[in-house]
A and B are shown apart, each in its own frame.
Chain A
């Protein structure tokens, strides 16, 4: 009996030790996975890399559409099915781990060019912020949120990069509570594109708030110009 007690004690001590030296691994990967430079493929992408993904998925029986190099609904569903069966994170995005599982690590070897400029990282970041802030809103309300962020980058009162505006402390609740790390849906991505392509439904406003939940007194001193869905937009 004593032996048993010792065993229990040893086990508990071991457990304690594990807890003591356990460093919680905050998923640095999941926070950074969208900002990396090699291109992740997601809804709306086009190109030869999409074709390669479709070809693999077709041969393995996940995909039933044409190899047209357009990342549409069918490709999205096929990627999700593939991810589900292979124990990957099911987000419908071909990131590094999915590409490697597909046997396409070279898809992430960025073509080296003298140009080397791209706006897809900004586009995706903006889409995530729109998704976090306004996913329940009508489409025009999503574009308006994206446009406010872009208007801020052009205003002297705010940082002049998209990331600078989005991650400005205390600026967006979706950033503070981590909702920005959700995977944006197609609507949010399209809204980000429309905003980047110059559609500003608010014609130059810098602020929006939800009158039902806004906690800052100061925001009420802003001038209201337009109300879309739950959000009020103003300057």
Chain B
């Protein structure tokens, strides 16, 4: 048999039909649904008299619109259109009989945090969601990617997607990460290297010692931003850490089924002589705590660097950089550590898990945030929040001056009331720094939770290694 990549193996196990031109129907194991990209899909089913083929494999949770303030049970905390959208999900989940975690459920949270937490995401699966950050689930060695609403409707109706196979890219991170450098810095550095279109047409497999050394949560952070590099999906081969993470979760297999699953999962790796269409190798020792300076996730630099000059770039990037520097209110050549911030957001499907909160708490313990700073921590799920409270992290955050919120997407995309005002500048642990992403005129610098915590204390972008 010809050698295969991990992607090849998962793909081959899910092709339900292949046409002569290579167009495939890819069978979908898990379909995650949230309130923003699904109402039109359910409406489409109703209009055509179709139904959900596998409600037992369809998991719904509201996350994008939901307020994260403690009083959110009060309907007045939501705008009318947000309320309508969440209510539509509520109705659709019940009417079509989906697995559902409503706002009132302690398990509610960001869909990409809830899926793994509840054991829905398992190695070797195909996982889709009407959300680009579905890439997160690739950390389990599952083929996971975002889809549009028409495709959501297609999966609801048929449990398949019309797909052509992507190319294989290997991103190897060799050696050990230096102290103070995290999964977020890996994934940002990779995007800085490849650009936001570098992964277009590919599925990326992340490998190498530094990836193997990451916890499952760190691996989710890495895969989460595969989409920011343009890739259809990011993957990491499952190993003992993966199995340990999955074991005992509510929807993970048990007993003999667990043993059968494990036997298959252990075959899920790229064969030694598998073919790669593109290979990128980065030494872990060369990675530093990373921040973005511009309005594209590829605008990544080590915290020790300076804001670049637009003339440093080539082609269309010259004008783009000029526009970014102006939008961000920066001066070419200024030290990144001289950039003052007024807002800190720690959370999102990129960095809203318990280890992210622990990393932030380790920096914040016994410290106060800078006077006048607006800082919030938004846990990725109700269960993450409960665990952080149990571990005493919530007290550290509150004593430092952070707001301690309920679970949701929050200021990552500012669809709920958590937004930046024009000109406000935020150190954010989320995944996109686009113009207006966190609110019209708002300025976003992406970084790791530890870096965001350090910035909250000093009031400017800060090299967290100086505080360790």
Asked if A and B bind, the verdict is: no
Q: Which residues of A contact B (CB under 8 A)?
A: none
